[in-house]
Amino acid sequence: MVRLGLTGGIGSGKSTIATLFEQHGAILIDADAISRQVTAAGGKAIKPIADSLGTQFITSDGALDRTLMRQASFADKAVRAKLEAIIHPLVGEESARLASEAVRTNAQCVVFDIPLLVESRTWRQRVDQVLVVDCVAEVQIQRVMARNGVTRDDVMKIIASQATRLARLRAADLVIFNAGPSLEQIALEVQQIAQRFGL
């Protein structure tokens, strides 16, 4: 089984490419989806977040207040570090469980969609190859502003908090440039990579 790490900056188009791999039969393990799951009402991260960072970060229905936490974590690196220390191990555990399930079903390829793969000290060792979805900052900014209804300044802060484009490219075994080619061209590139992994 091939373990492919998929990463890229915010707004680079990782989700589109992850979906294309799924269409070719890959098993997708989405770190962001798991993160949302553990920070939803009743999620495993809620009590540790409340204990470590304060109940003001938990909404009245018992979920993480994402807007408040995003503001606090950008303003204070210590807050972000505490949050990551809670969430990242939980994401790692659930990812490992899902990967074990994929092994039992004789899956050919598991795609781990990990936005912070390059920033992580552990994820690189868990995957066989890294596929970077490359994009230029201006395209990322426009996509995220349109998708999330946030300001340009907010998007630039997120980009600044992530690994640089150069750092991601240096970590890459494979690269798909997703700031200009048509969806048909992107789909063809994914198909060619998928075939190399037996899909």
pLDDT in tens, 17-60: 999 999 999 999 999 999 999 999 999 999 999 999 999 999 99
The confidence score (pLDDT) of residue 124 equals 87
Pick the closest to residue 136 from 113, 158, 165 (CA basis): 165
* Calpha distance 130→112 (Å, rounded): 9
The confidence score (pLDDT) of residue 150 equals 87
The confidence score (pLDDT) of residue 120 equals 86
* Calpha distance 98→58 (Å, rounded): 27
Residue 71 has pLDDT above 90, yes or no: no
Characterize 102-138 residue by residue with b for buried, 16 or more Cβ atoms within 10 angstroms of its Cβ, and e for exposed: beeeebebbbbbbbbbbbbeebeebbeebbbbbbeee
Mean pLDDT (whole number) for 169-173: 95
pTM for this predicted structure: 0.89
Residue 181 has pLDDT above 80, yes or no: no
CB atoms within 10 A of CB 177: 16
